[in-house]
């Protein structure tokens, strides 16, 4: 779309009132240069998700919500991975293999997220000691919390799900213990942030917060359900009970944890650009935190259901509904962070290959062709593409 020796056509953005390269989107603020019906407020840009071209903000997409750094072709592999985890959970539940079921429920999604961090250059962009601290805190806190509270919730998380308790015991097991758990689940991200990380990008905070929460959840699930390893290779429990446990512990709980931890991490790492420091500076961060608090509040409500006499199928449906809401709030939160956070240095006279749509566009905060935020790709990817910028091929092949 542009080269050093070619003048890029300019037009004034109707939102930020800045002359930017002509295209579908403003490369500076990310809004549509031409208004469209049903677009909603410009600060939200509801028709275009900030990390995936062609996707509506409210589109239910697990892959692009949980793996925002990846281009579409890479997300396909992770969709397959999610399907494999789900099939394994159902298969081990049908075969009544409790040991394998607990292992996949605790580690399946966490392992897939670690692969995502590797694929999105997270281990290259963020120091190894940060990841080690995040994982160690999550695992240590998860194991310690279950050992501390294990006796109090044995009937809720043991072989029989949904054992009933009343009165003060319900408040303790249904609210107090889950509240302590969700607070500890967010501790890794808070501690890493207090240590002043060298970089501040919202998606970095998302990865650290989500991995810390998933480490906590995986360690807690393994510790809590460890007695099931002693029930024998094949369990005598009803198949429907195992399927409910697979859905709750292997799908709903890790997805909700990743969403809540990721939102808190994104809020802690979010920074405003100098051009927007005086434009409602705390609004986006407040929305991110409020989304996370909403997820945790509903999640705590499920703690009461978990210790009550609700039918198991209803419990599973409620847990999955909370996970769906959590993913939606995560998607909206990450979208707002990408739209309004500080961006890299603008070099609109230099070409850059967009990994999401494949177009060569001016190097700006947003792709003028597809509208995806430039920071929806890793720092390693951005650096590599800037070191090897596209060049126009002349008719003689030079």
**Rounded-to-integer distance, Cα 242 and Cα 255, Å:** 19
368-395 pLDDT, tens digit per residue, is 999 999 999 999 999 999 999 988 766 6
Greatest distance between any 2 Cα atoms in the chain: 84
Does an H or E element contain 350, and which?
A: strand 347-353
- What's residue 3's pLDDT? 44
Query: What is the spatial distance between Cα 82 and Cα 78, in angstroms, rounded to a whole number?
Result: 6
Residues 6+ apart with CB under 8 A from 249: 102, 105, 106, 221, 225
Read off the pTM.
0.90
Tokens of 339: 């739209």
State the pLDDT at residue 396: 62
Mind listing the pLDDT tens digit for each residue in 193-221? 999 898 889 999 999 999 999 999 999 99
Per-domain boundaries in the chain: 1-47+346-398, 73-340
User: Which of 65-74, 126-135, 231-240, 347-356 is the least confident region?
Assistant: 231-240
- Is residue 398 very low, low, confident or very high in pLDDT (cuts 50, 70, 90)? low
Reading the block at residue 286, the tokens are 């407040």
């Amino acid at each position: 779309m542009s080269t050093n020796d070619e003048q890029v056509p300019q037009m004034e953005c109707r939102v930020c009132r800045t002359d930017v390269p002509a295209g579908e989107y403003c490369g500076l603020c990310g809004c549509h240069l031409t208004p469209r019906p049903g677009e909603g407020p410009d600060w939200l840009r509801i028709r275009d998700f900030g990390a995936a071209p062609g996707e509506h903000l409210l589109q239910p997409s697990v892959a692009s919500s949980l793996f925002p750094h990846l281009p579409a072709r890479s997300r396909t592999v992770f969709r397959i991975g999610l399907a494999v985890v789900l099939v394994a959970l159902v298969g081990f539940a049908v075969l009544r293999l409790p040991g394998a079921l607990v292992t996949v429920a605790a580690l399946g999604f966490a392992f897939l997220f670690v692969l995502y961090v590797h694929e999105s250059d997270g281990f290259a962009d963020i120091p190894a000691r940060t990841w080690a601290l995040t994982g160690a805190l999550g695992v240590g806190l998860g194991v310690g919390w279950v050992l501390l509270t294990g006796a109090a919730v044995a009937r809720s998380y043991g072989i029989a799900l949904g054992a009933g308790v009343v009165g003060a015991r319900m408040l303790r097991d249904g609210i107090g213990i889950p509240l302590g758990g969700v607070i500890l689940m967010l501790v890794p991200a808070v501690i890493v942030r207090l240590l002043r990380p060298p970089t501040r990008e919202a998606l970095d905070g998302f990865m650290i917060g989500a991995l810390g929460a998933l480490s906590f959840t995986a360690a807690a699930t393994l510790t809590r359900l460890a007695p099931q390893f002693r029930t024998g290779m094949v369990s005598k429990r009803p198949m429907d009970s195992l399927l409910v446990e697979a859905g709750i512990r292997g799908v709903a709980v890790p997805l909700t944890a990743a969403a809540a931890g990721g939102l808190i991490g994104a809020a802690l790492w979010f920074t405003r650009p100098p051009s927007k420091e005086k434009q409602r500076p705390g609004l986006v961060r407040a929305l991110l935190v409020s989304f996370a608090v909403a997820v945790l509040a509903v999640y705590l409500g499920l703690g009461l259901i978990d210790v009550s006499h609700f039918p198991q199928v209803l419990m599973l449906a409620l847990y999955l509904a909370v996970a769906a809401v959590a993913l939606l709030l995560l998607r909206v939160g990450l979208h707002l962070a990408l739209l309004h956070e500080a961006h890299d240095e603008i070099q609109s006279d230099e070409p850059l290959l967009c990994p999401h749509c494949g177009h060569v566009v001016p190097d700006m905060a947003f792709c003028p062709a597809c509208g995806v935020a430039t920071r929806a790709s890793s720092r390693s990817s951005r650096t590599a593409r800037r070191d090897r910028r596209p060049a126009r091929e002349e008719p003689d092949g030079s």
